[in-house]
Structure 1
């Protein structure tokens, strides 16, 4: 794992690593719409075009390493992730949410003699990853530490709470099922009733607490929404924290009215919020995973290697001898295509829709490849469902390495959107004998330049 214990460098590295997904997405989305030119085409007649396939026999190597934490605060993502899952290869993962909820309007007054009905926290589903048939148990606690919406929060951080449980709920996730609220059908959401003691505390609070959000957040700093670890299967629930149905709502009656009234506390872009992930130090992972990722058996990665979102696992790809292969004279790289084939481990856990690729410089920071400026459909990185395959065209990068314009840094392969996805993936390495046609390859076509 590339980690610098110097605090200043570590902070800078985390910022760069957290921004990698955004940088790559910007490059992809802003690229021109014409078909990208292949490097070097036209320099030689077609008959002079040569090709080579790099694998483990010709110096293409891969292995998995632990990822640093990923940034998960409200300034970079809108998704909150919650739940626990036990993966037969990656082991146990849990996700919890730390979040503020803000006043929907300033100056609210419950009036004299308000009678509590209930206090409900609702979270609007956006997706789910894993097994929806496994029950989950979540617990909610009140934070005793301030949060700041302008602060960068990472997936390994935590905020302390009072240790008093405000709610617990054991349930089967229903991320696709609508719910009925007061006989009205609404979008899929998880609804948790909070304790009456906590609700009464809100009703009986000094009215000044509701003057504005500064006073409110000094009074009620937010929630830790956590989950019990499962022993098998399980999954990660994804919630849209900016959806209008994600809110805390108190229902009550006033002394002089029979109708039930409601006041909402909102989850919006002004709320400080982040998701934290715990992989239990991969103590529950498979023996093969531990040998490669924890014990540093890099050679094992040439058979299979691993990727995991949620600040989990990335891979390092290297071609240390590529310059030696082309040492006989200058060449023009027409195309260099890095191909990864998906290994079927027998689970129903899907790989991510997109991977990211970047250089790892001598400081351990991520540097986007020049090819990322190409049209996204040409550059690649997306899952080809029909072939169970990902690829990247890195022709310009290889050309720059051969000409000395770019150092031959190792490449980082990682899940794109690791802050808001729960996917994991196992890929074939470059070993020819073990993986045959499924092996990872770099396929290069080139012409010699006289």
Structure 2
């Protein structure tokens, strides 16, 4: 566990080191101040313009993490998430012998988990991560019949193809056959529920029968994972017995077998999983005759497997939201229309982000005229205290240049890492959920370098975007299907065209105080600076 007092001290030290070393102008001015009594250290809090923006259909293909399931959020409403995954042959042009019998077809996708204990018998005890809700879901694994392209045929295949969160109809209308996870086990289809149990694989004997389940016969221990039995006859007919030219290479295979469609039946409640589908696969285990070429002529049987991997194929998240009345009303409230929202609703996926406008022209002119040196600048957001006590808050928020979609200077200049938990990387830049001594939950983001560069004329005073993020490293932009109107307080023609990928991958959301609440709770834009006296 991280030592919090040490963590905070280290953050302060690193902040000073970072911005003293990464900005030559900062460093030179700072050196002139040391020992000079003609400078005063001052602190000032500035008012900001803050408001909400709803996100409509968003590009979801090839994000690092996908969502699957149903989540009924008490604040934002219900989200249903389906998933499409293209498959590839790990071994192209497989060669099969005679008298093949498919023993089993197993689909696996590992959960995010942490091993917390090892029992005396070697059994691992795990704690699952990124699983929310406690109800089961009705899950179907179907064969997809909708063609997936790496490059856009509408643009002469010159640009990458984009797929969006609202394309359910394309896949619903192109399902091939019936559900492949047709096991008699309800826990694998109509009543699917993630399990935290370790999967233990046991050895088999010469007749391919599983050996007794004792420690001596353990072949492998695997972390918890989605593990579904798929239709053996279907895969025998459509893969093992497929014409050889359909399996000759992955281009031919992807055109023939277009992948899997993980579809969840809508329901009032359930559970929702965040999964790294790139670690998933479908493995076909089969027996075949093998001819013995040495000694007297004879034949015997061997067990083989064929792996269909999800590692590099196209992957698409399909999202359907039923927003709550309060969430819907947030985008039409009077103070929202005046760019002065009382509450900020930030939600991942096909959710919403917030905009923040910092300096007015008059404030900027005054600070520049005073020739100030920025020692620290930050934005602090306080979580709405009326949220339920058991509410799952996102671990992290991400602040970026809303006009270009690019990261801020402070993000780029922060090399801090936490090896044991990469979600806490760039902790000097911040945006990590904290609890104050008064019991309030806050997110503080440092923008010292960004503000300093504004005052030096190196960076424009741009509007900032605030989103929930699943991964602080996932900052590439994901396109909106249709750019949405996103006017600022100074320009009503502005639009929003993209959202950071880390937000698309998240199903979390939170409500923050904006402006017009109390001085202690409102968005706090603070600057500590030095100026000549």
TM-score normalised according to structure 1 size: 0.77
Question: Paired residue for 1:13?
Answer: none
Give ranges in structure 1 of 5+ residues lacking alignment: 1-30
Shift of 1:409: 2.5
Q: 1:359-370 counterparts in 2 under 5 A?
A: 359-361=401-403, 365-370=404-409
Give, in whole Å, the separation in 2 of the partners of 1:313 and 1:443.
Answer: 25
Runs of 4+, deviation exceeding 6 Å? none
Q: Deviations over 1:203-250 (max 9, x none)?
A: 332233332222222221111112123313x3321223233xx21122
CA contact (8 A) 2:52 2:341 kept: no
After superposition, where does 1:40-51 map in structure 2 within 5 Å? Answer: 41=30, 43=33, 45=37, 48-51=40-43
Distance (whole Å) between structure 1 residues aligned to residue 371 and residue 131 of structure 2: 47
Matched residue, 1:205? 242
Is 1:437 matched up with 2:477? no
Structure 1 or 2, whichever has the larger Rg, is 2
Deviations 1:173-229 (A, max 9, x none): 335321244555422111222234522322332233332222222221111112123
**1:378 maps to 2:428:** yes
- Provide the C-alpha distance between the structure 1 equivalents of 2:302 and 2:96, rounded to a whole number of angstroms: 14
Which runs of structure 2 are paired with 1:119-130 in the superposition (5 Å)?
119-126=105-112, 128-129=129-130
1:116 is paired with a residue whose SS is strand
Change (3 A) 1:33 1:71: farther
Cα deviation code 1:385-434 (max 9, x no counterpart): 56632212223433444455543332101123223332222212233xx3
**Aligned residue for 1:423?**
508
CA displacement 1:24-66 (0-9 Å, x = unmatched): xxxxxxx999432395655574872222223xxxx32322212
Distance 1:370 1:117 in 2: 56
Deviation at residue 172 of structure 1 after TM alignment: 4.7
- The answer on 1:264 being equivalent to 2:301 is no
On the 8 A contact 1:247/1:266 being kept in 2, the answer is yes
Higher relative contact order (CA 8 A, sep 6+): 1
Q: What is the CA RMSD across the aligned residues, in angstroms?
A: 3.3
Higher deviation after alignment, 154-163 or 435-444? 154-163
| Residue aligning to 2:180 | 167
The one-character-per-residue Cα deviations of 1:347-370 (angstroms, maximum 9, x if unpaired) are: 544333332212233xxx324333
1:254 matched residue in structure 2: 288
| 2:377 aligned with 1:336 | yes
SS across alignment from 1:230: coil
Q: Give the alignment of 1:407-422 within 5 angstroms.
A: 407-416=460-469, 417-422=502-507
Q: 1:248 to 1:301 in 2, by over 3 A?
A: farther
Q: 1:179 aligns with which of 188, 196, 199?
A: 199
Query: Do 1:126 and 1:175's aligned partners in 2 also have CA atoms closer than 8 Å?
Result: no
Q: How many residues align?
A: 401
Q: TM-score, normalised by structure 2?
A: 0.66
Is the 1:97–1:226 contact (alpha carbons within 8 Å) kept by the matching residues of 2?
yes
Q: 2:18 aligns with which of 35, 39, 46?
A: 35
In structure 2, the CA distance between the partners of 1:189 and 1:207, relative to structure 1 (3 Å rule), is: same
Match of 2:399 in 1: 357
Any gaps of 5 or more consecutive residues in structure 2? 1-13, 114-128, 152-159, 182-188, 203-212, 290-298, 415-425, 470-501
Question: 1:162 and 1:279, CA in 2 relative to 1: closer, same or farther beyond 3 A?
Answer: same
